[in-house]
Amino acid sequence: MIEIKNLHKSYTMGKNSLHVLKGINFEVAEGELVSIMGSSGSGKSTLLNILGMLDEADEGTYHLDGVPIKDLNEKIAARYRNKFLGFIFQSFNLISYKSALDNVALPLYYQGIKRKERVETAMSYLEKVGLANWANHHPNELSGGQKQRVAIARALASNPKVLLADEPTGALDSKTSYEVMELIQGINDEGRTILIVTHEPDIAQMTKRIVNLKDGVIIDDSKVNQVRALSHV
Ligand code: ADP
Ligand code: MG
């Protein structure tokens, strides 16, 4: 699903240049649940933004579902991003003046889907995340965990092949984090490919594979021995 080779990224500020990604290679197959770990400033978000086509690498190649991303023009890239990728952020990024339902329906609006179908689809995803009864509430009436559930429903609404989550539990307490991760595991169980950036080892342990970033390179890439069947008994 994802294949990156020799990815490099630097940020330039005035005379200074910061080499953040120094030759990243990795592949993610369809249906994987992968976490990208690393300390603050190690380049996790930079990598995820490139994978999410929100930013571009300076060097290297990126194939998403077999398509070389660099070669796409802006318009096609935007369409491709909307179709293939769903995003979840630490700060939820919900629109405050829209209801939960309308937040979830928004990506469908941009895809030109008619109102009735938008509402039906959005409602079905709110049900999926356990928030059917909160459809008409606004974000400020929801708890952090509920907000992230709405954001997950929104990310799923356009049925993306890959979900990219940047510190999805970063603003949540540990119990709520665990519940959100269980929801993410369930979505992965249905076959969806998911990448999660986190600096929390407990969160990474709830994925199936941990990729460790340090000083701009991957220093470890290993399968997780899944203990989740036992961990919530
Ligand atoms: P992480 O998500 O692992 O905390 P980031 O990818 O956000 O790390 O950042 C990696 C490094 O790049 C940090 O030192 C950060 O300050 C720097 N950085 C990130 N984004 C920018 C930017 N747009 N311009 C300049 N420097 C940046
Ligand atoms: Mg980050």
Between strands 193-198 and 33-37, the pairing is parallel
> Which pLDDT score, from 0 to 100, does residue 190 have?
95
Written as one string, the DSSP assignment of 153-212 is: HHHHHT--SEEEEESTTTTS-HHHHHHHHHHHHHHHHTT-EEEEEES-HHHHTTSSEEEE
Q: Is the CB of 44 under 6 A from ligand 1?
A: yes
> Which pLDDT score, from 0 to 100, does residue 77 have?
87
Contact 10, 31 (CB under 8 A): no
Backbone angles phi, psi at 52, to 5 degrees: -85, 5
> Which pLDDT score, from 0 to 100, does residue 100 have?
98
Q: Is the CB of 11 under 6 A from ligand 1?
A: yes
Ligand 1 atom, smallest distance to 13 CA? 25
Contact 71, 104 (CB under 8 A): no
Contact 89, 168 (CB under 8 A): yes
Of residues 9 and 74, more confidence is placed in 9
Q: Is the CB of 13 under 6 A from ligand 1?
A: yes
DSSP helix/strand/coil, 144: helix
| 31-57+73-231 carries CATH number 3.30.2020.10 | no
Complex confidence, ipTM: 0.98
pLDDT of 197 above 70: yes
Q: Give the DSSP letter of residue 70.
A: G
Between strands 193-198 and 59-64, the pairing is unpaired
What is the percent of the chain with per-residue pLDDT over 90, rounded to a whole number? 86
Give the containing element (helix H, strand E) for 3: strand 2-13
CB atoms within 10 A of CB 50: 22
The single-letter code of the amino acid at 121 is: T
pLDDT tens digits, one per residue of 198-221: 999 999 999 999 999 999 999 999
pLDDT tens digits, one per residue of 130-159: 999 999 999 999 999 999 999 999 999 999
pLDDT of 233 above 50: no
CA distance 43 to 33: 19
Q: Is the CB of 49 under 6 A from ligand 1?
A: no
Query: Given ligand 1 and candidates 40, 45, 90, which is best to mutate, with the most ligand atoms within 8 Å of its CB?
Result: 45
Domain edges within the chain: 31-57+73-231
First to last CA, the chain: 34
Q: Is the CB of 43 under 6 A from ligand 1?
A: yes
Of residues 80 and 164, more confidence is placed in 164
